[in-house]
A = this chain, B = another copy of it.
Amino acid sequence: MKLEELAAVVDGQCQGDGGIEITGMATLQSAGAGEITFLSGSKLKSQLQGCTAAAVILRQEDCSAWDGAAIVCDDPHAAYAQIARILDSSPRQEPGIHSSAVVSDDAIIGELASIGANCVVEAGCDIGSGVVLGPGCVIGQGAKLGEDSRLTANVTVCHGVHIGERCVVQSGTVLGSDGFGNTHEDGRWTRIPQLGGLIVGDDVQIGAGTAIDRGALGDTKIGNGVVIDNLVHIAHNVVIGEHTAIAACVAIAGSTVIGSRCTFAGVVGVADHVTIANDVHLTGMAMVTGSISEAGTYSSGTGLMPNREWRRSAVRFRQLDDLVKRLVALEQKNPE
């Protein structure tokens, strides 16, 4: 596409030669001939020096630092995202069912759907139009995938799971596994069959190696527009509100209900049967053991320290209650 065409798409102003053909996108440091890049803010402005990109997306106030071709706009990061969608050259799997796939006669395969090599689609599945299953995906009995959803290679969707439209699921992920449901009888764990389902909304993104359990009774529910990163654990009967974002390695225990528009940073742990309000933001590695009823940002843990100093603080942490008693004793000797 021509630079001026891209500028029009993002409502930006084209500077320099608008006729340049743009064929790809790259970073400020690596972009070369035919490639466009972007400068999100002034912080990295110095990198424009020596930049060999064919064109740069930037803000008006950063223009003075670049005399080449450019798209000038208010939000270069959003423009980058839009242009990346246009220039996306990731390989697309051809529509149709690969000859090596095992597809039940009793499954509905929508128009233009693409079922990759060595996929298994069991009886009663309903695969929407335009759905793409990468190689090696397994879709269990009666599962339903909405239109234009894309699963990359080796994704497992268990029986009866419902996935909405335009979802994107990365490799190695398991949707609808049996949760950790047991009764403790006579010192032994006895398995409780997991009879519920998993309902994933529309426009949900799920990363690689993530596991989302089906409900024990009733369903696990992932709201529309939720984005989930790699290696996330979501237990049975968890409910996640719309447009909430969950970063990598987060663990959410059973029956917890999470509001809309929340953001959880990486390695957050959330206990079971907890309710979290809308617009709650959790910083990395936060430990949530109870419900959170008010929007806001919450944290736990201690900051990184050189090991030797940390050891001293950690020892004192153990003594904290005793230290407070000593403080109280001193206060009693020093009355107001």
A interface with B by C-beta (< 8 Å): 24-27, 29-30, 37, 77-78, 80-81, 84-85, 87-91, 98, 100, 102, 116-118, 120, 122, 134-136, 138, 140-142, 152-154, 156, 158-159, 168, 170-174, 177-180, 182-183, 185, 187-195, 203, 205, 207-211, 213, 217-218, 225, 227, 229-231, 233, 235, 243, 245, 247-249, 251, 253, 261, 265-267, 269, 271, 283-290, 292, 296-321, 323-324, 326-327, 330-331, 333-334
Query: When the two chains form their complex, are residues B174 and A209 in contact, meaning their CB atoms are under 8 A apart?
Result: yes
- Chain B residues lying within 8 Å of A188, measured Cβ to Cβ, are 203, 225, 243
CA distance A280 to B157 in the complex (A): 36
- Chain B residues lying within 8 Å of A193, measured Cβ to Cβ, are 84-85, 87-88, 90
CA distance A284 to B288 in the complex (A): 9
Looking across the interface, which residue of chain B has its beta carbon closest to that of A204?
B189
Query: When the two chains form their complex, are residues A87 and B218 in contact, meaning their CB atoms are under 8 A apart?
Result: no
- Chain B residues lying within 8 Å of A289, measured Cβ to Cβ, are 284, 303-304
State how many angstroms separate the Cβ of A166 from the closest Cβ of chain B.
Answer: 9
- Chain B residues lying within 8 Å of A191, measured Cβ to Cβ, are 85, 168, 205
Looking across the interface, which residue of chain B has its beta carbon closest to that of A286?
B304
Query: When the two chains form their complex, are residues B217 and A26 in contact, meaning their CB atoms are under 8 A apart?
Result: yes
A249 in contact with B227 given A185-B78, A305-B299, A312-B321 (CB within 8 Å) = no
- Chain B residues lying within 8 Å of A91, measured Cβ to Cβ, are 122, 140-142, 159
CA distance A319 to B227 in the complex (A): 36
State how many angstroms separate the Cβ of A86 from the closest Cβ of chain B.
Answer: 9
State how many angstroms separate the Cβ of A189 from the closest Cβ of chain B.
Answer: 5
A218 in contact with B171 given A88-B195, A189-B227 (CB within 8 Å) = no
CA distance A39 to B89 in the complex (A): 54
State how many angstroms separate the Cβ of A258 from the closest Cβ of chain B.
Answer: 14
CA distance A140 to B180 in the complex (A): 27
State how many angstroms separate the Cβ of A323 from the closest Cβ of chain B.
Answer: 6
A192 in contact with B80 given A211-B172, A289-B284 (CB within 8 Å) = yes
